[in-house]
Chains A and B, each alone.
Chain A
């Protein structure tokens, strides 16, 4: 089996003559969190629906667990947990009764699965409250509980923090991180909030008007995010002495024999260069790395930015 749990090739979806998803090649690696970032209506939900077979594919193909999903639903679905849009449940039943129904239909991986799932998302088990009386945040939590009820390998979460309060968002975020880091689950998550994805994802795909603009690992992106002055000089000890004595900063680090990063970006680069030259330290190169993720996204989405 390949390392990709989800792989799409030239995935396209048309509604009438409108193209909602255009030749998307998505690669979700095993054991990682893949963040699908894009504005509302960019096509995130449609992609997820096509992956799950909830809506017909116009052209292209989807592979889940390395194989085509069509015709193998019975074997593949039990290994996936998903929330698509706002999760729907029966309003005349309580939260536990709702989950009980899905546990009965799908089967569970361990005894007391319903209680466990509800504990994990922080909902009371065997509560008398009917789903119809749930708040938006509670509904979302129940949706997550249903997605993890059968301890699936792959989670597909469409805007799971929608409707949650800030504390709830942080809770869900930590819990998703735990699922990935402590249990090794693979997670495909979508969001229109950059900071949300930046905190969670290992890999990131940016989608705009149905087109996947960029797919890369978060680590790659983070390199573009920090602000520092990168100096390559001939004599590191001397350079550090000058920084400390003349510029009174200790906020720098030495990465190898010739490279030095100054994190104190308030320093005037020209002045630093000049001072180094004056003291006979050859400056091989100096550059200001000053790019934020936001700037970066603005650049690739053509100036519109995300969220």
Chain B
């Protein structure tokens, strides 16, 4: 091959290199215009817009970055919107949850005041009315408690306690209540000491709410409290043998004002478990529920130990 041959070969080679570079340039330009378009869309508020890119693209990192920002802001926005909606729902159901018992309360009192009923019947009316008033009061109290928790205004007094001791004290108060409600109970608290940083009031409230929930909703005749310390954490399980919670309802039981039985009977207020969850969260723990419909429900609280 002479010089011309080499020259020819070189020219062809460079021609292909240039062609490759031009194609590459065009592709990058195309991708950049796609990115610009997507950015404009995102700026206009469409946070679902994504820029698609491929493993081999030069702009890969930029595109991934833009997408990540869009995903992040989108989920923030949705969270915000959801809590707004939840608040609105709360207000509607609140007005309903207060109005109904209040109306019937007024009805009873009017009947007594207007002398429509007399003697023993009147006394029974007053008894029913005061029961309703107490329930209403309870509801309003838990509601305020919940609002306080939700707004993060609850002040906790955390101190290091022996959780087993604390639990025994709480259960001592519950035993007569359980007995009078006709529930069998089994309490298994270890004799050893398991120290946890808790707010004793809050902890009492958590257990109270769980037992209250069982008492009101479960239709159980046997309940078990079991506490077992592990290396890092301490597990409190409360099990009943009641009617259980169906699969559809289970994920929602810790939502505020969620009630499984949709009848508007006035037992319970749909706040107990929600409050318990908030309180457990404040202790850096978790609360979960598992259930077999017809066979009972188990609530498990895990609290971190003080080491």
Contacts and interface: CB of A to CB of B under 8 A. Distances in A.
A107 B52 contact: yes
Ordered nearest first, which 6 A-B pairs have the shortest CB separation? A241-B107, A107-B52, A237-B107, A237-B106, A109-B50, A240-B104
Interface in B94-131: 96, 99-100, 103-108, 110-111
A187 to B, nearest CB: 12
Given A151-B67, A255-B96, A109 B48 contact: no
B75 interface: yes
A104 B54 CA distance: 7
Interface residues of B, number: 39
A251 B262 CA distance: 9
A141 interface: no
B289 interface: no
Nearest to A154: B48
Contacts of A251: 263-265
23 contacts: A104-B55, A107-B52, A108-B52, A108-B53, A109-B51, A110-B68, A150-B50, A183-B75, A184-B78, A236-B103, A236-B107, A237-B110, A238-B107, A239-B107, A241-B110, A243-B104, A252-B264, A254-B96, A254-B103, A255-B96, A255-B99, A263-B263, A263-B264
Interface string B46-80: 11111111110100000110011001001101100
A181 interface: yes
A254 B100 contact: yes
A126 B37 CA distance: 35
A236 B106 CA distance: 9
Interface residues of A, number: 39
A110 B64 contact: yes
Contacts of A255: 96, 99
B18 interface: no
Contacts of A237: 103-107, 110
A111 interface: yes
B31 to A, nearest CB: 9
B82 to A, nearest CB: 8
A175 to B, nearest CB: 13
B266 interface: yes
A179 B9 CA distance: 57
